[in-house]
Amino acid sequence: MQLLNLEHMTQTIEYSLIEMDIVAGLKKGNEVLAQIHKEMSVEAVEKLMDDTADAIAYQNEIDEAISGRITADDMEDIVAELDAILHEQLGEAPRVPDSLPAESVELPNVPDRPLPAHEAVQSSKSKNRQRLEEPMPA
């Protein structure tokens, strides 16, 4: 019986120590939360959220302005401005002829037999092939 009482008392002490650790942890947690609340007020958070909403609204306005709502007149003005910039940077481009010239152009004659260099390469390839096909001396 005394052994059971001793065991029960040991368990009660261990449980009380655990409870003390829990209470100390809660106390420390409350202190940290209080410090955070001092640094961050509800008004500051609301102002931050309002500023963020304003920034998002402003970005949406910019997106709508750029989103491709260009009229035909605007497109003509843009193309004209681009042409002016290109003309300024590149100068006058050479004129491209509308059609091919009427007179015939004389081209050089094309050889009707293989070129000598080609024949020399072919003959050296043939010699190499023959050497590879010959049986090797033992």
Distances (CA, A) of 40 to 30, 44, 46: 15, 7, 11
Identify the residue with better confidence: 42 or 16: 16
Identify the residue with better confidence: 71 or 8: 8
CA distance 30 to 24: 10
On average, the pLDDT of the chain sits at: 83
Phi, psi angles (nearest 5°) of residue 137: -70, 145
Q: Which range among 13-17, 64-68, 132-136 shows the weakest confidence by mean pLDDT?
A: 132-136
Q: So what's the pLDDT on residue 1?
A: 79
Q: So what's the pLDDT on residue 108?
A: 84
Q: Residue holding tokens 């306005």?
A: 61
Q: Is residue 20 helix, strand or coil?
A: helix
Whole-structure pTM value? 0.33
Q: So what's the pLDDT on residue 100?
A: 72
Residue pLDDT, tens place only, 84-133: 998 888 877 777 777 777 677 777 888 888 777 655 556 666 766 666 66
